[in-house]
Structure 1
Amino acid sequence: MKNPIIVLGLCLIFSCNSRQEELPPPNILWLTSEDNSPFLGCYGDDFATTPHLDSLAAEGFLYTHAYANVPVCAPARNTILTGVYANSGGHQHMRSYYDKAAMIQPYPRMLREAGYYCTNNSKEDYNINPDQNQDFWDESSNKAHYKNRPEGKPFFAVFNTTISHESSIHQSIPSGQLRHRPEDVTLPPYHPDTPEMRHDWAQYYDKVEDMDQRIGELLRELEESGEAENTIVFYYGDHGGVLARSKRYVYESGTRVPFIVSIPEKYRHLYPAEQPGSEVSRLISFVDLVPTVLSIIGSEIPDYLQGNAFLGEQKTEDPEYAFMFRGRMDERYDMSRSARDSKYRYIRNYMPYRVYGQFLEYLWRAPSIQSWEAAYKAGECNDVQSRFWNTKPAEELYDTQNDPWEVNNLAYDPRYEEVLQRMRTATKDWMLEIKDSGFIPEAELIDRTAGTTTYEYMRQSELDLNELVDGANLASNPRKGDLPFLTAMLEHEESAIRYWGATGLLMLGGEAAEAVEELKNVLADPSSNVKVVAAEAMYRLGHEEEGLQALYEVLQSSNSFARTHALNAIDSIEDDEEATHQAVLDMIGMVGEFNRSHYDLRAAKGLLTKWDIDPADHGYDMNW
């Protein structure tokens, strides 16, 4: 005789499966905001005024460990669009317009093939060649709306609000008009207590409140459409922000995002926890969004996707890590990689010889960072507040549970050696697995990928990525005993290895004096990136004229990112000679197009400002 309990259980399972099969495909609505960390009441922020998102979280599921894979918008959006880490596809630099590999399909195309009507309102900014932006969406404009879909079609709709974007603090609102009072702001320990800092924080909380109001309007619109019971709603910020040391930096403040999913009762089989209103601690990041959406709608997940589905029938086991990265930010080069587990954050800095707070024209529009820089120069910052203006350690490790602002670096504490080794290994394994293209300098990569894409080049060339990563790891944290290895790297046939060899010698400073002749030889290297780093190393070793002449030569390169690299070096060495002024002015004249979309011109303008030179006096209109 059959066990009646087993029979009943099977009946319930088949009944449940039958109902799932009868359900219509869900609509999916993405509501996104810009540049905001989880400054929401539902995330425990008592200073925030976010009633609509708090209500959405109470009715849905709040993810406590959600991350942008890169702390700036365009590469983050590229990762979302493709389901491939931007540094795997060659799109990690902010901003860039390189070709996307044809095999990598943008997710709206996959959803349209699955029968969805797809709309985007309205920001794109996908960090790819604009010619490849065509035909992703059924509609993409500030009028795009799911209401325009043909009858009977499910929709996938994105509404992006820019209210909380970084630009929202560039123009100060009078303090008397702010709803959040500057005197009530709790400052992070790394920010000095200046009036401008308090004001920008308070103004930003006002903008987050305004963003919440807009989200509320979009949610009401969904209710009024009659589609709320058929629609899964996602809300998330596109990366952290927005005051200095958040956006652009691979800390919690730059990468952790608010992330809420609301799932109607009829789709309760998709719930990530037992009941709505729950918190979900699973690590998720933007690379997971495409496989998750495909899993929700029951479509096959392509093998090339690099993330994990966190909802639906193809949901994976919880990952141990989320990974993050940064490359060039506008006119400034830097390179970091990061791993986050449930407790710790590991950061590997590959250009530790550059200060955290490199001047960025756009970032410096905020009064808060100007006041921070002034306070530092006046000697008014404590040790924690001063670090932003100094060079970096090669490695950083933070206990995010006990040190949420990440100011106590544990990487050099022997008690955390096991954690450090584990996360260091995980980060390297990830970089090799995704074929991280960031270890080849940008200008060099442009030359190598003419006629192909970076994604394809990294998979079809004979490049030994493991050797390259090992070389970069050595170069970014060298010791005097490494001098023979670094010098030998200068003679390698692979120019990217030579680049990292020169970087290691630059890092060694005076301890690299024995390698002056070898450095002098690579001042004529065919790779402009090798030449730039070797030139800076030579300058710092006392061979100023030879170093400067090599940098002047690169300023006349036809590759704008080689020129940008050279300008970064000139800025760092603080050279203020008339010949250097003229070399930069000559470069500006050679470029000819005076607009801020040229990052070499942005870097050049920053130098002229530092030297108190008005470009208009030389016939150049750079008043952007």
Structure 2
Amino acid sequence: MTMHNMKLKLTKVVAIVLLIVSHSVTANTGQPNILWLVIEDMSPLLPMYGDSTISTPNISQLANEGVVYNNAFSTSGVCAPSRAALATGLYPNSFGANNMRTSSNTAETGLPKYEAVPPVNTKMLSQLMREAGYYTTNNYKTDYQFKAPKTAWDENGIFAHWRNKPSNKPFFSIFNFTTTHESGLFEPYGIRKLEQRHYFSSDEKKIALLPNDHRIKTNEETTPVHIDKATRFPVPPYLPDTPTVQNDLWKVYNNLAETDKQIGAIVSALKNDGLLENTIIVFYSDHGGPMPRQKRLIYDSGLKVPLIIRFPKGYKAGTIDERLVSFVDFAPTTLAMAGISIPEYMHGHSFLDTSNERQYIYAAADRFDGFTDTIRAIRDNCYKYIRNYRPNEPYYLPVAYREKIPSMRELLRLQKDDALNKAQGQWFRKEKDDHELFNVCNDPHELSNLAYIENYKTKREEMGDALELWLADIKDDPLMKERQLIDKLWNGKTSQPTTEAPKIAVQNGKVTITSETKGAFISYRMKNDETSPHWQIYQKELPIKQGILEAIAHRPGYIESAPISLAIDAD
């Protein structure tokens, strides 16, 4: 791209941002508040996407007052790699973040725990927002495949909330809802170690995500039932329509109805605080659905997600956007919403610019818990091409966590009894095709492979070539073993690198803090200053302030440095 074209593009994006900001500004800053509402493990099973099985009044209201994106996709069919893409604007398979998870299942893999290492000077979206004056809060997931540096958030945890911000700052807040998570299908239904629920009252300053104690038993008196069990739920063709599957789908929709209520509580709190018309609300799911042949796969059932953005004051209300959107686009789009420059290293682009249309979205699948596969995918508006790098291995991986779902055990039983039809049995093939090509417009469940049909040879080659260009561009080698990946991330060392401790210098009336680790971010705080309890981002020399200065350095993917303290005398 020429410099002239780059300037024209930048001018266009800035104009779009100013248009949006003119509709929603925070007093004293001219920047909108931005709120992410994130549900887990949910395909677009919502009325605005054509599924009228249940009503979701709060999500539907967001859709009526906002923009519905019909073609939004995660970069992976599972949470931690997807969250890595959302946090950085980078494809997770470009920096070692695509194995689920990097710190688990070491007994099965024989590998050490490690963290993904983003490229030098890569900043999390929240840090970029914070540096630009936003008060950033996360409630409460931090599963990015690397430990977030203390520079990432003003607040992170169950009490993190926009209500704690200074009055002169806009906020960027994320609330994560876990009720629709895969584990919500386990039996006995209603008991989940990770289940959380949002609790609000109009006079509370804070919102807490507390252990959910209202679903301990399975009888209807203690389990909040929103959906009649007699409802017949739509069953995708790759699953059998059995009582077990119907019961699990009841859980899926019931959990969604419960989450809709929780989302309504958040939006009501925003409204009660007088902030609704100063806030851009972004609602989405972290990847596709929780049922078998959905989560962890890179068929659309595992990648396609609902995405709704409600702009204040009716801007674009009730519109539908058919463009392809990838999770790597979320970070640059959020920066554009705030009028913040987008770093050149990001793989995504802002989709606020309606003239900037993607030709493809991309996805990758690697290790899931103790089982390794290697799959890459590319999708345009109507075709999905999948490249299987381990064709001699089966598609189905016996992930123990997934087998806690009754429907998964039902599938395995029917498969053993040779009682599955062709569509239901495809997942259990002993080998995979090297190449898969699907017309997702005509075959949305991706059951008819066109890759070896002569009439589709040109399309397969076109998408295969585009996939290879993408892999080369992001420097992803699908044939690299995970052990080799770790060696690369650790620069050949035998253990995870540690960030060099910061050095504090006081000179010429200023305090300077440095770390010898390239790409390390430094956070600091005055230990005796109760008015500033949060770690601050060190960006430039500090004025001398009497007290004990504490600093920590951290390059993401490395071990955080030991803290360093220095008593400073203002005299």
TM-score by length of 1: 0.66
- Give runs of aligned pairs for residues 141-180 of structure 1, distance below 5 A: 141-173=157-189, 179-180=227-228
CA distance in structure 2 between the aligned counterparts of 1:428 and 1:255, rounded to whole angstroms: 20
Asked whether the 8 Å contact 1:192–1:375 carries over to 2, the reply is no
1:254 is the counterpart of 2:302: yes
**What residue is the counterpart of 2:327 in the other structure?**
286
- Measure how far apart 1:452 and its partner are: 7.0
1:45 is the counterpart of 2:61: no
CA distance in structure 1 between the aligned counterparts of 2:19 and 2:393, rounded to whole angstroms: 57
- Give runs of aligned pairs for residues 165-564 of structure 1, distance below 5 A: 165-173=181-189, 179-181=227-229, 184-265=232-313, 268=315, 275-311=316-352, 317-390=356-429, 391-451=431-491
CA distance in structure 2 between the aligned counterparts of 1:22 and 1:251, rounded to whole angstroms: 37
- Measure how far apart 1:385 and its partner are: 1.1
CA 1:286–1:19 in 2, change beyond 3 Å: closer, same or farther? closer
- Measure how far apart 1:17 and its partner are: 7.4
Q: How many pairs align? A: 429
**What residue is the counterpart of 1:616 in the other structure?**
none
CA distance in structure 2 between the aligned counterparts of 1:172 and 1:198, rounded to whole angstroms: 16
- Measure how far apart 1:159 and its partner are: 0.4
The alignment partner of 1:236 has SS state of: strand
CA distance in structure 2 between the aligned counterparts of 1:188 and 1:134, rounded to whole angstroms: 44
The alignment partner of 1:439 has SS state of: coil
CA 1:418–1:408 in 2, change beyond 3 Å: closer, same or farther? same
Asked whether the 8 Å contact 2:81–2:92 carries over to 1, the reply is yes
After superposition, give the CA deviation of every residue in 1:77-110 in whole Å (9 maximum; x if it has no partner): 0111111100001111000123333311111111
Asked whether the 8 Å contact 1:182–1:202 carries over to 2, the reply is no
After superposition, give the CA deviation of every residue in 1:472-522 in whole Å (9 maximum; x if it has no partner): xxxxxxxxxxxxxxxxxxxxxxxxxxxxxxxxxxxxxxxxxxxxxxxxxxx
After superposition, give the CA deviation of every residue in 1:323-358 in whole Å (9 maximum; x if it has no partner): 111110111101111111111111111112121212
The alignment partner of 2:38 has SS state of: strand
- Measure how far apart 1:361 and its partner are: 0.8
Q: What is the letter of the counterpart of residue 152 of structure 2?
A: F
After superposition, give the CA deviation of every residue in 1:558-612 in whole Å (9 maximum; x if it has no partner): xxxxxxxxxxxxxxxxxxxxxxxxxxxxxxxxxxxxxxxxxxxxxxxxxxxxxxx
Q: What is the letter of the counterpart of residue 107 of structure 1?
A: L
- Measure how far apart 1:22 and its partner are: 11
After superposition, give the CA deviation of every residue in 1:33-54 in whole Å (9 maximum; x if it has no partner): 0010001111110213311111
Which protein, 1 or 2, shows the higher relative CO under an 8 Å CA cutoff with sep ≥ 6? 2
CA 1:264–1:374 in 2, change beyond 3 Å: closer, same or farther? same
CA 1:183–1:49 in 2, change beyond 3 Å: closer, same or farther? closer
Asked whether the 8 Å contact 1:90–1:438 carries over to 2, the reply is no
After superposition, give the CA deviation of every residue in 1:200-238 in whole Å (9 maximum; x if it has no partner): 111111111111111111111111110011000000000
CA distance in structure 2 between the aligned counterparts of 1:395 and 1:148, rounded to whole angstroms: 52
RMSD: 2.3
Farther off after superposition, 428-437 or 165-174: 165-174
CA distance in structure 2 between the aligned counterparts of 1:233 and 1:67, rounded to whole angstroms: 18
1:60 is the counterpart of 2:100: no
Asked whether the 8 Å contact 2:24–2:277 carries over to 1, the reply is no
Q: What is the letter of the counterpart of residue 327 of structure 1?
A: D
Match 1:95 to one of 75, 90, 101:
101
CA distance in structure 2 between the aligned counterparts of 1:448 and 1:80, rounded to whole angstroms: 23
**What residue is the counterpart of 2:504 in the other structure?**
none
CA distance in structure 2 between the aligned counterparts of 1:18 and 1:98, rounded to whole angstroms: 35
CA 1:99–1:434 in 2, change beyond 3 Å: closer, same or farther? closer
The alignment partner of 1:184 has SS state of: coil
CA distance in structure 1 between the aligned counterparts of 2:371 and 2:322, rounded to whole angstroms: 35
CA distance in structure 1 between the aligned counterparts of 2:306 and 2:484, rounded to whole angstroms: 37
Larger Rg: 1
Farther off after superposition, 22-31 or 406-415: 22-31
**What residue is the counterpart of 2:553 in the other structure?**
none
Asked whether the 8 Å contact 2:95–2:117 carries over to 1, the reply is no
Asked whether the 8 Å contact 2:93–2:476 carries over to 1, the reply is yes
Farther off after superposition, 22-31 or 418-427: 22-31
CA distance in structure 1 between the aligned counterparts of 2:240 and 2:219, rounded to whole angstroms: 19
- Measure how far apart 1:303 and its partner are: 1.0
CA distance in structure 2 between the aligned counterparts of 1:435 and 1:175, rounded to whole angstroms: 53
The alignment partner of 1:372 has SS state of: helix
1:125 is the counterpart of 2:143: yes
Asked whether the 8 Å contact 2:24–2:312 carries over to 1, the reply is no
Q: What is the letter of the counterpart of residue 342 of structure 2?
A: I
Asked whether the 8 Å contact 1:89–1:437 carries over to 2, the reply is no
Asked whether the 8 Å contact 2:75–2:91 carries over to 1, the reply is yes
State percent identity of aligned pairs: 37
Give the structure with the higher percent strand: 2
CA distance in structure 1 between the aligned counterparts of 2:154 and 2:186, rounded to whole angstroms: 35
- Measure how far apart 1:382 and its partner are: 1.0
CA distance in structure 2 between the aligned counterparts of 1:22 and 1:37, rounded to whole angstroms: 30
- Measure how far apart 1:316 and its partner are: 5.8
Asked whether the 8 Å contact 1:119–1:145 carries over to 2, the reply is yes
CA distance in structure 2 between the aligned counterparts of 1:19 and 1:75, rounded to whole angstroms: 31
CA distance in structure 2 between the aligned counterparts of 1:156 and 1:437, rounded to whole angstroms: 35
CA 1:336–1:38 in 2, change beyond 3 Å: closer, same or farther? same
Farther off after superposition, 420-429 or 19-28: 19-28
Give the structure with the higher percent helix: 1
Q: What is the letter of the counterpart of residue 144 of structure 2?
A: Y
Gaps spanning 5+ residues in structure 2: where?
1-14, 103-114, 190-217, 494-571
CA 1:25–1:448 in 2, change beyond 3 Å: closer, same or farther? closer
- Give runs of aligned pairs for residues 567-578 of structure 1, distance below 5 A: none
The alignment partner of 1:49 has SS state of: coil
Asked whether the 8 Å contact 2:288–2:295 carries over to 1, the reply is yes
Asked whether the 8 Å contact 1:182–1:198 carries over to 2, the reply is no
CA 1:358–1:182 in 2, change beyond 3 Å: closer, same or farther? farther
- Measure how far apart 1:180 and its partner are: 4.2
- Measure how far apart 1:249 and its partner are: 0.3
CA 1:22–1:292 in 2, change beyond 3 Å: closer, same or farther? closer
- Measure how far apart 1:439 and its partner are: 2.7
